[in-house]
Structure 1
């Protein structure tokens, strides 16, 4: 379940058979079977059906909240939920399941409760209402309400407030940890970077020393680097500006905390906080600049590694591109789906990065013309910025529509202006950031004028 995307029901859930800090086994259980077990362990099959359904909806939502927020993974654990009623829900390994409870779970296992205006599964706290009481739902209390004739939704409103909704028939998919598997750093780009930018901005409302990132465009620029470093400094992490696994989950842990996502007072997650500007996956039939960028990477990989076919970056994900993706996936032990999901994209970028940092001797003289593998933006420095500026100098000398640039090795405002002008002329996103497509266009113009 990618971080703060639209929630899905996990295929499986990993249950720790003890308290969080207690040495105990972890077991992987199909989510639907987990809910049947919890419901059979916590409520009685003889209760009125409305009470049973209200309780099961609370149990589903509670578990989904733990999965969605990565409540335990953000604390360094390798499981989704415990079976300790002190912290979570009562789960008994290999217990018998009541038939009527099993049928009800089959009917509603992919429904869950949200607060109106939020997409996050609500923290549906509950207790039995007799030996223990709490601010949330009373399990025995639901029986009385059902006997009064209340339907499940009315029972849930009674305990959680009138401003709740029930999401019906949510999709089911494998629960994938949100950490992308590769560190994010200056020059990275994508929806994972955008997630970090959004979370840091919200954390910054409570910790104003963290500089704000604007816009949250998914480009890991100097603003983002500064925000990450300050966050790391505040929370006693190595302040290197790199979002590895420890920093990723620490950000998520603090974000969960400032938004109270594991409390009845949850701030929730709005739909606008889950919208995307980068596709979840690219597949045959898709088109656009994201497709062209993937094709560019594959074309360079194919040029230096004859195991892979060379493809033309035309922006259309046709059979040729799908075949190249399958060949790539097969070569690196991935399922050859022909679809570029997050794992495939990161593997492609990793292989590309390895190639450009280990170029054969015969092409080193032209290595400056190969995209350096990181997005260049305002304030960044380095040999790749210097190479970009050399290309822009030649272009501006031959095209009066392009602003003049000086080779300094620092991506300054003049460099950004020239980049924006080239992007506008080529129909690329006019953001002043040099990714693979802008780089390819700049090099093509440079080569044209150098001939």
Structure 2
């Protein structure tokens, strides 16, 4: 089931104690302590409470916008925000915190401002309103509004418009960088691929030489590779069609820029732009085709790594699947929590692909080969497509309700339609592309017909 990836409150924030390019140290503090410090450094504890609260909402939202857009990290820096008021908010390491400010922050630090219809924390620009003025909130101006009886929300509306909301009780978790940790390339699938596809298609509105990706389905096909290569050409990156860390963050940087996500005039980020096709995490108690995918990878890897217990491919995430996931996580030295998030998923794909590439020719005998480790989509070609068409052709000769296709080695519209027909008949998601679950089901039918015994 598709889900939206929404902002969260980080447990801590990394602050650079100087201008972005200065040779200054970084400090890491908890997010609430950071906001308490900023508020105590920028406003007065004697101001009316409505004024103090409005300022703190703005300070929280400003910081979260920097984190959510990876404003500095997408530019190659190793921090989230600076303490330079020329760029960000004032933070004075080691300063005393006002008691009333501390109490208010403890109450509202996980609330933030956003535009109605948008997802991202709003860029709540502000200035003191006396020595420095700007188009956003005036800190001293909030005092007068509070004295006139404005509520904190009313003050925020006065400066940022009537179409703002306050998101309350946002989830809190440890911050992680958005880059998935492995390079994305043709044949891979997942939420990170969907993110790149969505961002490239929006960037293409401003850079029309970048071809639009017809289907932002989270599957890295040839159309995605073409868009990546053109993006890389425009921005002087290696034109390999692979989304490594430098390409990932360049895409993020340009996407933030064209949508003005770090500005008052933000275009806004819609829910559909952050909705991903796969559950962000899989864990015990869940079921479905995504669980079958994880089980397939684990069941194959268990043949090569005895420390991974064999798991049945039944689509139910039970204790046995959790134990297999934990064994894999221990093997690749990542936290062994038994939950399949982005890090575990990307490592599973990587290890599986390495294993498959190490197998000798003809290892499968007369049976079908195991899944080749990458999605086959329209436009693909080569031996794996030839194998797929061979299996589908035999199945089509056996089941008259399924089409029989020629074996050409090129994945064209006819092959895609045969895949869709198979998926419809065998109760699989009808996509026309072949991932591990579809491949396994095709291989089972082929082996049953040819050898009388289904295998993985």
Q: TM-score, normalised by structure 1?
A: 0.97
Aligned to 1:160: 160
Residue equivalent to 1:418: 418
CA–CA separation in structure 1 for the residues paired with 2:151 and 2:44: 18
Aligned to 2:194: 194
Kept in 2, the 8 Å contact 1:368–1:384? The answer is: no
Give, in angstroms, the shift of residue 416 of structure 1.
Answer: 1.2
Output the CA distance in 2 between the equivalents of 1:373 and 1:309. Answer: 20
**Cα pair distance change 1:134/1:307, threshold 3 Å:** same
Q: Deviations over 1:138-161 (max 9, x none)?
A: 111111111111111111111111
User: Structure 2 vs 1, CA of residues 32 and 367 (structure 1 numbering), >3 Å: closer, same or farther?
Assistant: farther
Q: Report the Cα offset of residue 364 of structure 1.
A: 6.0
C-alpha distance in 1 between matches for 2:126 and 2:450: 72
The corresponding residue for 2:136 is 136
* SS of corresponding position for 2:275: coil
Deviations 1:372-428 (A, max 9, x none): 100001011122111112222222222222222222221112211211111111111
| Superposition map of 1:80-119 within 5 A | 80-119=80-119
In the TM superposition, residue 334 of structure 1 has moved relative to its aligned partner by 2.4
- Cα distance in 2 for partners of 1:230, 1:331 equals 38
Deviations 1:270-303 (A, max 9, x none): 1222223200111111000000000000000002
Whether 1:348 aligns to 2:366 is no
- Inter-partner Cα distance in structure 2 for 1:440 and 1:249: 35
- Tell me the residue number matched to 2:173: 173
Q: Is the 8 A contact 2:368 2:391 kept in 1?
A: no
Indicate the larger mover: 361-370 or 326-335: 361-370
Write the mapping of 1:278-297 to structure 2, written as runs, cut at 5 A. Answer: 278-297=278-297
Partner of 1:240: 240
**Is the 2:368–2:446 Cα contact (8 Å) retained in structure 1?**
no
Q: Distance in 2 between matches of 1:325 and 1:336?
A: 8
Task: Give 1:445's aligned residue.
Answer: 445
The answer to whether the 8 Å contact 2:228/2:243 transfers is yes
Distance 1:219 1:35 in 2: 40
The aligned counterpart of 2:372 is 372
Give me the whole-angstrom Cα distance separating, in 2, the residues matched to 1:367 and 1:238.
Answer: 40
Q: Deviations over 1:248-276 (max 9, x none)?
A: 11111111111111111001111222223
* Matched-pair contact (CA < 8 Å) for 2:114–2:166: yes
The answer to whether the aligner puts 1:42 opposite 2:32 as a matched pair is no
Q: Deviations over 1:92-142 (max 9, x none)?
A: 111111111111100110111011111111100001111111111111111
1:261 aligned to 2:234? no
> Secondary structure at 2:276's aligned position in 1?
coil
Deviation at residue 214 of structure 1 after TM alignment: 2.1
Q: What does residue range 389-400 of structure 1 map to in structure 2 within 5 Å?
A: 389-400=389-400
TM-score between both structures, scaled by the size of structure 2: 0.96
Deviation of 1:367 (Å): 8.9
Distance verdict in 2 for CA 1:211–1:265, change over 3 Å:
same
Distance 1:139 1:82 in 2: 20
Is the CA contact (8 Å cut-off) linking 2:368 and 2:443 kept in structure 1? no
Name the CA distance, whole Å, in 1 between partners of 2:360 and 2:378: 31
- Structure 2, unmatched stretches of 5+, are 452-456
| Counterpart position of 1:222 | 222
Change (3 A) 1:347 1:160: same
**Cα distance, 1:239–1:366 mapped onto 2, change above 3 Å:** farther
1:366 to partner: Cα distance: 6.6
1:27 corresponding residue in structure 2: 27
Separation (CA, whole Å) in 2 of partners of 1:182 and 1:100: 46
Q: How large is the Cα RMSD of the aligned pairs?
A: 1.6
- Bigger drift between 369-378 and 408-417 goes to 408-417
- Equivalence for 1:315: 315
What displacement does 1:359 show? Answer: 2.4
Query: Any idea what the Cα deviations from partners look like across 1:11-58, whole Å, max 9, x if unmatched?
Result: 111111111111111111110100001111111111111111111110
- Secondary structure of 1:336's counterpart equals coil
- Measure, in 2, the Cα distance between the counterparts of 1:407 and 1:87: 60
Seen in structure 2, the aligned counterparts of structure 1 residues 366 and 174 have a Cα distance that, compared at 3 Å, is farther
Question: How far 1:363 sits from its partner (Å)?
Answer: 2.9
State the alpha-carbon separation in 2 of the partners of residues 125 and 89 from structure 1. 10
Gaps of 5+ in 1: none
**Deviation of the 1:333 alpha carbon:** 2.2
**2: CA distance, partners of 1:221 / 1:341:** 22
* Runs of at least 4 residues off by over 6 Å: none
2-side partners of 1:254 and 1:61: how far apart? 21
* Residues 219-267 of structure 1: per-residue CA shift (max 9 Å, x gap): 1111111111111111111111111111111111111111111111001
Change (3 A) 1:4 1:89: farther
